[in-house]
Amino acid sequence: MANRLTVERPTRHESTQGTILCVEDNRAYLRVRKAVLERAGYSVLAATTSAEALELFREVAVSLVLSDHMLRGTTGVALAQQLKTIKPHVPF
């Protein structure tokens, strides 16, 4: 029997603990991280590219950014530097 990863649907909470921007170019990893964070009570914005992350970061108030270190065409460090110029108070 093959090992399978099962992702449960996140439980909806009436109030969240904050909004996290999760940046990951691997869609499977992104789905898992999003589900885990939502189950913990966070609202999660998901981006698969640095361009998507920058757009969401500009438009929505986020409490924290979690990013993959290696993204297509850039790095998590380079993305963090860009985001810090927009909203320096948001933890990365």
Return all residues near 55 (Cβ < 8 A) that are at least 6 apart: 47
Q: Are the C-beta atoms of residues 52 and 40 closer than 8 Å to each other?
A: no
Q: Are the C-beta atoms of residues 33 and 7 closer than 8 Å to each other?
A: no
pLDDT band at 9 (very low <50, low <70, confident <90, very high): very low
Q: Domain boundaries in the chain?
A: 19-86
Length of the chain measured in residues: 92
CATH superfamily of 19-86: Response regulator (3.40.50.2300)
Mean pLDDT of 74-78: 93
pLDDT band at 58 (very low <50, low <70, confident <90, very high): very high
Return all residues near 25 (Cβ < 8 A) that are at least 6 apart: 48, 49, 68, 71, 72
